[in-house]
Structure 1
Amino acid sequence: MSEKAIELDRVVKTFKQGFKPRFRALDEVSFSVVEGEAFGFVGQNGAGKSTAIKILTGALRQDGGAARLFGVDVADFRSRRGLGYVPENPWLYDYLTPLEILRMGVVAQGIALDGAELDRHCMQWLERFSIAAVAHKRTRSFSKGMVQRTALAHAMACRPRLLILDEPLSGLDPLGRRDVVDILVEYRQGGGTVFFSSHVLHDVERLADRFGLIHKGRLHTVQRPSDLGGGDEVLSVRTVGIAPVVGMQADVADRWSAQVPASQLWPLLDAARAAGHTVIEIKPALSLERAFLKFVSDLDRSN
């Protein structure tokens, strides 16, 4: 049986709001992540994702409940041995270069590399994140995306047992997002454990074995992305044409779109062809995105 890499047990965290009643950012949140699993943490801004991550990494102390990494309470610094962490907005020593930052992290983790071997190891990760060309440039001139790449390369160079990432794709361009997702998939396939928050629900579906949905400080569901499909798979269809088609909505520039169950795909395509449309895209609808929007909408209506 796999060891639990992360455990939150009825964790509570409140914050002061001036003269208002204390705000409960986390309301008895409980879940666990087993070693070798990728777990996505999704929710709206202010839902409690970053607060939970800060508690796990020791940046905040919870007001109630227990939090552990590999069975060690997060109040104990030893819980963070082998942890790679990237916050939503990484702060780097801007007078250092990416190579110096990676060297420092590897040495601090006690990894037995030195001299040319240490430089080789760090440069390999800078190359993986496409920033080897600026390895000797001070980070004060870096864009947000380059800072994010440097922070991610630093986390991976330290050979983490567990990665905790708060919005790891924030600030990255499409090519950067693809590279990072590919690296995380490879890390996960190699047995690494990943806990990450993200607003990019498509990437959560691709990366996560399971996901937890948090809303207004409460964890409302933990399940697998594959559990969201239900019965008939839903497909997204986009066409271009002039005449309207029943079941399709007008977009811009004579483009039309629809989301239909797979069983209704061919009748829709036949109708589109009869109307003189050209199909430009057919792809699975984002089941996690649809489930997330419906779930949040239902919760807000019930409150």
Structure 2
Amino acid sequence: MDDDGDGLFRADGVSKVYPNGIRANDGISLHAAPGEVYGLLGPNGAGKTTLVKQVIGLLKPTAGRITLGACDLVADPAAARQLCSYLPQAQVPIDSFRAREAIVLCGRVRGGRRKAVERRADELIEALDLGEWRDKRGIGLSGGVKRLVGFAMVTVCPGRLVILDEPTNDVDPLRRRLLWEQVRQLGDRGAVVLLVTHNVLEAEKAVDRLAIISDGRLIAEGTPSAMKARDRGHLRLQLMIAPGHETPALPPFALRSTLAGHNLMTVIAEGDAAVGIKWAQQVIAAGAAEEYALSATSLEDAYIELTGRDSAGGVPGGIGG
């Protein structure tokens, strides 16, 4: 195995076509450098997990190359498994293991020295606030705690490329913040971190750069700030619809909209802020909504425009107006 090189992760023209003709990835090209947290965003079924499986050697691309430094991960899938650490969406199978035991075992399997692995395991348990569960067996842990233990198992002795697929699933808000701090530290320690998610709002705070994938194709790439520049001069007007009430007809100044549950999100021009507030207040006065908020547009607004869906799966424009 030749793993010399600058440590840059690259996917060049990666396509995956299944025997039934389904094209899961279509010419995807991207790169991420050591120390970078790189987000891979897209709706469910966009092709994110298929790409990851090719990176770690579980699937072979139909076309294209995947490299980490000088190592060809497609030609040498054994090297891919050695150089990459992977947290899948599914919960890790640790029912028979105590939490700390599972973390240490993974570090040892990855080749870490016992003392160093045990020390790092204790650091992660403290950093993720898992102390009360350190000696509890996995079968008795909640989904969120299992998720955090799985993260610690993957990062106790991380590879040069760390792939995290929806790492905050089931994690409570407090420990979610702790987890994001640890993700950032992975980058600061020199790993390439590939964050796979559909949670756009969380990704915006965590990533250095990101790619948006839809229908197997890469449709946008850049920093969160560059992505949001598409909505420069716009504002987000958010309305919480009262339970039991129909969604109000959109005003003519709404540029686009998305409905997720009872939450109606519209994008308006900055110059329409005053009339937008007046409209929202009228809807509340009529009893059709409970509250509103006016704020700067976010990465999710750019994501909606590019993919046609919000992070909860809502479809813009299908709610009147």
Asked if Structure 1 and Structure 2 have the same fold, meaning a TM-score greater than 0.5 normalized by the shorter chain, the answer is: yes
- In the other structure, the counterpart of 1:5 is 8
Structure 2, unmatched stretches of 5+, are 242-250, 310-314, 316-321
2: CA distance, partners of 1:261 / 1:190: 42
- In the other structure, the counterpart of 2:191 is 192
2: CA distance, partners of 1:92 / 1:274: 53
Correspondent of 1:285 among 280, 292, 297: 297
Paired AA for residue 9 in structure 1: D
- In the other structure, the counterpart of 1:140 is 139
Paired AA for residue 167 in structure 1: E
Structure 1, unmatched stretches of 5+, are 241-245
1: CA distance, partners of 2:282 / 2:25: 54
Asked if the contact 1:82/1:109 (under 8 Å) is kept, the reply is: no
TM-score (norm 2): 0.75
Change over 3 Å in CA distance of 1:194–1:262 after alignment to 2: farther
- In the other structure, the counterpart of 2:307 is 296
2: CA distance, partners of 1:68 / 1:85: 16
Paired AA for residue 60 in structure 2: R
RMSD: 3.5
Paired AA for residue 204 in structure 2: E
Post-superposition shift, 1:261? 4.3
Change over 3 Å in CA distance of 1:61–1:261 after alignment to 2: same
Superposition map of 1:201-212 within 5 A:
201-212=200-211
SS in 2 for 1:22: coil
TM-score (norm 1): 0.79
Q: How many residues align?
A: 285
* Identity within the alignment, %: 24
Superposition map of 1:1-303 within 5 A:
3-16=6-19, 21-74=20-73, 75-76=75-76, 77-114=78-115, 118-228=117-227, 229-230=229-230, 231-232=232-233, 234-236=235-237, 259-262=267-270, 265=273, 281-286=293-298, 288-297=299-308
Change over 3 Å in CA distance of 1:261–1:138 after alignment to 2: same
Q: Per-residue CA shift, 1:122-164, capped at 9, x if unaligned?
A: 1221122222211111112222212110111112211443321
1: CA distance, partners of 2:43 / 2:205: 19
Post-superposition shift, 1:282? 4.7
SS in 1 for 2:111: coil
2: CA distance, partners of 1:105 / 1:223: 34
1: CA distance, partners of 2:221 / 2:104: 38
Asked if the contact 2:35/2:190 (under 8 Å) is kept, the reply is: yes
Q: Per-residue CA shift, 1:38-58, capped at 9, x if unaligned?
A: 111111111100011111112
2: CA distance, partners of 1:113 / 1:13: 40
